[in-house]
């Protein structure tokens, strides 16, 4: 497996980076460009930007901040938020994004995955899934960027992810909602089940609180680990994290 990736997540709302707990009660976490530059300098492998309310608001993310980010950083980044068509995705890629990530729009119209993979290649198409445990199983949630619109789709997570990869999604971001922002660790059992169910890279998301949590996610088979709170609040420094992972025998990028 290639070197594992450390990926800060920047949730965007009203042009600012925000952070919540279990997808609620978001607080301001800084300027988009300042955060992007900081993470590039600290050694992040990639960045992910989510316009968290775009899908629920029925709009697409603003390409203006995508262009501004692309102008100042030289590491790959993905963007997400209300991308419902090939043209909207193309505009983000033209603005400088390396990947486009879709979640609720793909649930609205699964064929969107096929269309984007055909147009841009699976390597550019990331599927995010907000997974919630209920009655001993995991189900997909939709429109989670706005608590008043968030809903249970009734789709089982593993079934949806298998379908999405068959349609052409080249990478998956597994957002475990119960773990989000609480810093008790990733949902390792669920991450392992997803890794075993698909043939594309899986990015663990939700729950990082210590360097050991990243190690656990990688040992479960994750190709990357996404986190926000521990990086935004400077609880874990990326260079220190990479040094720790290397001592655990996990290959990371310099």
pLDDT digit string (tens) for 65-109? 999 999 999 999 999 998 999 999 999 999 999 999 999 999 999
Q: How high is the pLDDT of residue 27? A: 56
**Average per-residue pLDDT for the chain:** 91
pLDDT per residue over 147-179, tens digit each? 777 788 899 999 999 999 999 999 999 999 877
152 is annotated as an active-site residue: no
pLDDT per residue over 138-149, tens digit each? 999 998 867 777
Q: 50 and 80 in contact (C-beta within 8 Å)? A: yes
Q: Which of 45, 51, 130, 187 is catalytic?
A: 130
Q: Which of 11, 45, 51, 187 is catalytic?
A: 11
Q: 92 and 119 in contact (C-beta within 8 Å)? A: no
Adjacent-strand bridge partners of 78: 48, 99
pTM, whole model, 2 decimals? 0.91
The helix or strand, by DSSP H or E, that contains position 6, with its residue range, turns out to be: strand 5-13
130 is annotated as an active-site residue: yes
Q: How high is the pLDDT of residue 56? A: 73
Q: Which of helix, strand or coil describes residue 113?
A: helix
């Amino acid at each position: 497996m290639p070197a594992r990736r450390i990926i800060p997540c920047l949730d965007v709302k009203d042009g600012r980076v925000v952070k919540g707990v279990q997808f609620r009660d978001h607080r301001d976490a800084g300027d988009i460009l300042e955060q992007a530059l900081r993470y590039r300098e600290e050694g992040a492998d990639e960045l992910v930007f989510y316009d968290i309310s775009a899908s629920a608001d029925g709009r697409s993310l603003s390409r203006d901040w995508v262009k501004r980010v692309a102008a100042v950083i030289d590491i790959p980044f993905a963007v997400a938020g209300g991308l419902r068509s090939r043209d909207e995705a193309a505009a983000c890629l033209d603005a400088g994004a390396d990947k486009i990530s879709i979640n609720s729009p793909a649930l609205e119209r699964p064929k969107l995955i096929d269309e984007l993979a055909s147009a841009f290649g699976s390597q550019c198409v990331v599927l995010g899934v907000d997974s919630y445990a209920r009655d001993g199983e995991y189900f997909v949630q939709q429109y989670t960027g706005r608590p008043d619109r968030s809903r249970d789709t009734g789709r089982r997570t593993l079934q949806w992810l298998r379908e999405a990869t068959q349609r052409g999604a080249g990478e998956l971001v597994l957002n475990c909602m119960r773990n989000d922002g609480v810093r008790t660790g990733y949902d390792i059992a669920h991450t392992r089940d997803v890794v075993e169910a698909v043939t594309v890279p899986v990015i663990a998301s939700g729950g990082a609180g210590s360097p050991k949590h990243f190690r656990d996610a990688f040992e479960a088979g994750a190709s990357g680990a996404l986190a926000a709170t521990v990086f935004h609040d400077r609880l874990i420094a990326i260079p220190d994290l990479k040094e720790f992972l290397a001592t655990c025998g996990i290959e990371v990028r310099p």
